[in-house]
Amino acid sequence: MWKCPKCGREFKNLDQNHFCSEAPNTIDAYIEAQDKEVQPLLHQVRNTLRTALPGAEERISWKMPTYWSGHNIIHFAAFKKHIGVYPGEAAMVYFANRLTEYKTSKGAIQLPYEKQLPLTLIAEIARWCYESE
């Protein structure tokens, strides 16, 4: 077990990513709660999604920044070594051939901090998710 030195919560994983206080309720608060080095990357993802989805509402859902328009379109979140983008399973299948250089799972893409963010691809995925619902 690992115990957070800031809040005292215990976790199974060493250095578990978590919020020491109450989870943020806005995307601004979410980004501000992240490490200073990661914040510019999160702003890039946010600005990309804002441009790609101009009519979507920004909200926090599942404790992650989310774009919503009658349904959750896409989420993103910061982790220890990557930014996770969550477009859902159908998008993962549709864009599979363009995601081969990233670690992926059923509904998620891991974008490592040491690689340049694929902002054009993120925008395309977000628009596809919006239009396919």
Report the run of H or E that residue 122 belongs to, with start and end.
helix 119-132
Q: Worst-scoring range by mean pLDDT, 17-31, 83-97, 101-115? A: 17-31
Question: What does the chain come to in residues?
Answer: 133
Rounded to the nearest integer, the mean pLDDT of the chain is 93
In a 3-state reduction of DSSP, which class is residue 107?
A: coil
Here the tokens at position 126 are 């977000």
- Per residue in 52-100, pLDDT tens? 999 999 999 988 999 999 999 999 999 999 999 999 999 999 999 999 9
Q: State how far the Cα of 9 lies from the Cα of 12, in Å rounded to an integer.
A: 10
Here the tokens at position 129 are 């998710």
Here the tokens at position 112 are 């490592």
CB-count exposure of residue 22 (10 Å: 0-12, 13-18, 19+): exposed
Residue 97 DSSP label: G
C-alpha radius of gyration, the chain, whole number: 15
Query: Which domains are seen in the chain, by residue range?
Result: 25-132 (3.90.1150.200)
Using pLDDT thresholds of 50, 70 and 90, give the confidence band for residue 11. Answer: confident
